[in-house]
Structure 1
């Protein structure tokens, strides 16, 4: 009898052991399944982070187009995108604006504005003066915009006195906002109110950072282009201004020389691209 009971116990133990082995084989290992997912997600997310990083960008604005000035052709032949600032009411104002647009360049009205110092004849026709009434200022701004086709904004020609005047700048910026334009402060006045007032109106506070040809030589312009690159790399972007005119060919040569050493490190863009991406400015401007 005892022998039979021992056999029964052995048979039951063997059956339980076999069942446990079978269950263990069928159930997957939980820790392995949990640890695999994070490793895969980390691997797939890394390339996306690298791809979303934007290159440092430079917007080159060239002022004083509109009077068939020296260096005009050389500027239009530069190997990168530029922004063309055209003075209104001059013999080639419309021609230069159309040529720039056909090349895919942004066009600004280079609006003459009263300076603190300087000869009145340097301003050119259609200048905005602080002595004007509100209605006269508005009329001048609107006429200049109507005279330069394809303009997407305004920057100031001279203008150290006007850009420090809240009343006059309020009218200029108001017209810009009505038309879906923006204003680029050329920064001829370090006490300019343009940027602060633009922010208050919900407009982008765009300003020039570096003048390229404050000294009129190709070598100086090339040196300034290095400063442009340094600022773009450290601050993400840089707005810079050069000119056509008496030394226009030298300025163009200096810009071309500077571009050669910068093209692998920065992206050259039109001012509208910079304004759109940096300040999320989406105007409803309709070009003619």
Structure 2
């Protein structure tokens, strides 16, 4: 009994057998295999580089033809002009851009310094590359976009006493179908203003110019009830730094090309603030553009600032479709005709609503019998450029 208690528990007599393995598979050489895989991963690309003739392999490649343009973004002060590159290929160089797109088009038929652009093209010497894209500038020979891109027209001095009416139709570019319909239906002497937000706004503006219309750019300015009433992205704001507002202006300017000037979208607060508005008006003038005030705010200091900066200027007399009905639009057009007969000319403002486009198209057909001449808005600018 004592002997049994002295023996270890759970031990049997005899030698213990080693546990049998579940499988009889041979052990794999893990380390050599891992080294081989690493050598293959590293060596394959190196072999491709050394033995395959593809110097651009492995790198993203994009070929973009961009000619030299003036690069001078002085902060709302001096517009510097550099000579154009002499290495450009003949027959190329006009750049039509918008929404970040850049296009080289043939310029064999484009005069170097004519006072009218050909076929809706944009003159390369009146483009400057900003951080957002190409924006207008005065050419080195002094040609200004306001003159080059204006639709040829008679003026008050050559109208033989007949009253002149200009109508600016705003809001184009937001709807492609609505914009194309307006371009096709409205007579060429209607001036078309483009909002800078549509996906195809640059393309549509180019079509308008090719069709003979004079075009403008709508720039959103801060109203008194902002941001409850928001004119849109990149709105120029009261109290912002000059640099910030100019950066926004450059973005807006880069969205279309070939326009004669700027027209405000809203902006009763901004246009009443001389300190905020003056650097913007100076920049507009320095870039050879005109400014049209929509006439909705009697507190606007645009006339004084335009005269001080030297910008060509006009102000709309009547908004035609504040109530979008044919009866109301015709009533406002009658008022516009009376205003034109009283002072020799008048400017109306309308939107690209279908009812407005249809009414304006039909009304335009009655002007010859009334002895009234429809002209682009550039024919009615007040000139502050010394001409």
Q: TM-score range by the shorter chain?
A: 0.7 to 0.9
Contact 2:173 2:179 survives alignment (8 Å): no
Q: Does 1:217 align with 2:325?
A: yes
In structure 1, the residue matched to 2:281 is 173
**SS of 1:147's equivalent?**
coil
Q: State the 1:163 CA deviation.
A: 0.7
Listed as ranges, the matches of 1:7-156 within 5 Å are 53-68=160-175, 71-76=178-183, 77-117=185-225, 120=228, 122-156=230-264
Q: TM-score, normalised by structure 1?
A: 0.73
Q: State the 1:55 CA deviation.
A: 2.4
In structure 2, the residue matched to 1:270 is 376
CA RMSD of aligned residues (A): 2.3
Pick which of 64-73 and 160-169 moved more.
64-73
Contact 2:311 2:384 survives alignment (8 Å): no
Structure 1 unaligned segments of length 5 or more: list them: 1-50, 284-288
In structure 1, the residue matched to 2:334 is 226
In structure 1, the residue matched to 2:345 is 237
Q: State the 1:105 CA deviation.
A: 1.2
Q: State the 1:133 CA deviation.
A: 0.7
| Structure with more contact order per residue of length (Cα contacts < 8 Å, sep ≥ 6) | 1
Greater share of residues in helix: 1
How far apart are the structure 2 equivalents of 1:53 and 1:164?
37
Provide Cα deviations, 1:170-202, integer angstroms capped at 9, x if missing partner: 122111111100110112211100011111223
How far apart are the structure 2 equivalents of 1:238 and 1:69?
29
Structure of higher CA gyration radius: 2
**SS of 1:279's equivalent?**
coil
Contact 1:164 1:193 survives alignment (8 Å): yes
Q: TM-score, normalised by structure 2?
A: 0.55
The list of structure 1 runs, each at least 4 consecutive aligned residues, that deviate by more than 4 angstroms after superposition, is 118-122, 280-283
